[in-house]
A = this chain, B = another copy of it.
Amino acid sequence: MTSLLSGPPAVVAAGVDVFSDALRAQGAAVTDVEWRPPTIGSAEDLTQLALDPRRAAANRAAVERVLAAGSVLTDVLPARDVLGLPDRTLLHSGPPLTWETASGPMRGALMGACLYEGWAETPEDAEALLASGGIALDPCHHHRAVGPMAGVTSPSMWMWCLTDPTDGRQAFSNLNEGLGKVLRMGAYGPEVVERLHWMTRTLGPVLQAAVRSRSADPLDVKAVLAQMLQMGDEGHNRNRAGSLMTLRDLSPAIVEVDAPSSDIAAVLRFIGGNEHFFLNLGMPTAKLAMDAARDVPGSTLVTVLARNGTEFGVQTAGTGDRWFTAPANTPVGLFLGDYGPEDANPDIGDSAIMETYGVGGFCMAAAPAIVRFVGGTVPDALATTERMYQITMTENPAMQVPVLGFRGAPTGIDVVSVARTGWLPQINTGMAGRVAGTGQVGAGLVQPPAACFEQAVAALAEESRTALA
């Protein structure tokens, strides 16, 4: 040990010149290794954004709007009425797509919606109708709506209507069908269509009457989401406590709806039997918050992460409605039954709005039990949340993670931080079967393709140059 300390040092310096130069100036021998952390985007674009004098204030304004947004449940209405959705139009998750570019589960869900609406009698007819261009397709996000997985929403489907009480803005989502063979996972068999009919006939009207009966005291969905993080949910792939609290809060009003007690009991059983029932309330809550930050010039905040099963799409506060898209990755995780990795479709769904808001994968530390569903270990889950603080602008005081000493959720993804660190947002997700009609095959972890952020950096830098010119 003495000889180690008394001899001359042998130095290898990685990346940063300042260290090796200082040693060389003292006469030490230094071996330089050319290395720098992997970054996304060009040095020129990142410098442009770093030096944009608008950026700090714009990001502060944008993320403060995200934190301030609220979300209460104000109504339940058919998509036809609330979105003005015309006949022969279907909404879907993620960025825009066509029948030709749609993946298996997206095609399956579109076909199932045609069967449910009565636009086709058989799956073959539905496929032909869609392939002929007889059905208009449009992203949910273009209608202030969000849909999990395929996100397919047709005019007759009932929608949760959520309102931000601070400014009256609204956001929407369809009703969650449960797990397994369900439309949003690409299944379209008779049991899927029959369940959708029951939801249209019974669930929707009962929920509408119950929600309207508490119009003086609407359900505070943001408060439920906050409480979920205290109860082992992360709000994307674990919604157990949230679904239970929703049932608790709505059940007294449901019971007093003028409907047969067998229908009431069926509604309670349906909600109680679906641990993801809350997801379709959490998503428009996050959508309300992220929409609040739209169109803030100079802000590098991510406002949308969404996938259509073929492409991943990103939007930012500084670039409005423009999509930055690239081929979606395929999740890695745990599989149901005999399914395996080869059965999984690439990443799909608007549900990554939860991570955009700072919960879901960003709050895995609040939900260590989720590793039994999406894979990984408990230390991984804790480390993931710690890592997400490095790519976000602030901590959301309303969304606290108990095990981190009630630290707020890492909130407000900064495109520049993602680009500089090379650390991509961590998303928890369900996995749909690659083949239309399969349904859910598992759940796992996935990240956006870096190419979306490369495009976002370039577009934000271009906007910056133009604005400052």
Please give the residue numbers on chain A whose beta carbons come within 8 Å of chain B beta carbons, in ascending order: 1-2, 5, 230-233, 240-241, 244-245, 247-249, 251-253, 255-256, 261-262, 264-265, 268-269, 272, 368-369, 371-372, 377-379, 402-406
Contact = CB atoms under 8 A, between A and B. Distances in A.
Nearest to A6: B2
A328 to B, nearest CB: 30
Contact of A241 (B1, B231, B379): B231
24 contacts: A230-B232, A231-B232, A232-B402, A240-B241, A244-B244, A244-B245, A247-B247, A247-B251, A249-B272, A251-B251, A251-B272, A252-B265, A255-B264, A256-B262, A256-B265, A261-B261, A368-B403, A371-B402, A377-B405, A378-B402, A378-B403, A378-B404, A378-B405, A378-B406
Contacts of A377: 405
A272 B379 CA distance: 34
A255 B371 CA distance: 35
Contacts of A253: 265
Give the residue among A245, A255, A368, A377 with the most B Cβ atoms within 10 A: A255
Contacts of A368: 402-403
Contacts of A247: 244, 247-248, 251
Nearest to A370: B402
Nearest to A272: B248
A419 to B, nearest CB: 33
Contacts of A272: 248-249, 251-252
Nearest to A5: B1
Contacts of A5: 1
Contacts of A406: 372, 378
A265 to B, nearest CB: 5
Contacts of A240: 231, 241
Nearest to A379: B405
A29 B233 CA distance: 58
Give the residue among A377, A403, A406 with the most B Cβ atoms within 10 A: A403
Contacts of A252: 265, 268-269, 272
Nearest to A273: B248
A199 to B, nearest CB: 17
Contacts of A405: 377-379
Nearest to A245: B244
8 closest A-B pairs by CB: A244-B244, A368-B402, A248-B272, A369-B402, A230-B369, A231-B232, A252-B265, A232-B232
A350 B57 CA distance: 57
Contacts of A255: 255, 261, 264-265, 268
A160 B232 CA distance: 28
Given A231-B233, A231-B240, A248-B248, 20 more contacts: A2-B2, A230-B369, A231-B232, A231-B241, A232-B402, A240-B241, A241-B241, A244-B247, A244-B248, A247-B247, A247-B248, A247-B251, A252-B272, A253-B265, A255-B255, A255-B264, A261-B261, A368-B403, A369-B402, A378-B405
Contacts of A268: 251-252, 255
A270 to B, nearest CB: 10
Nearest to A367: B402
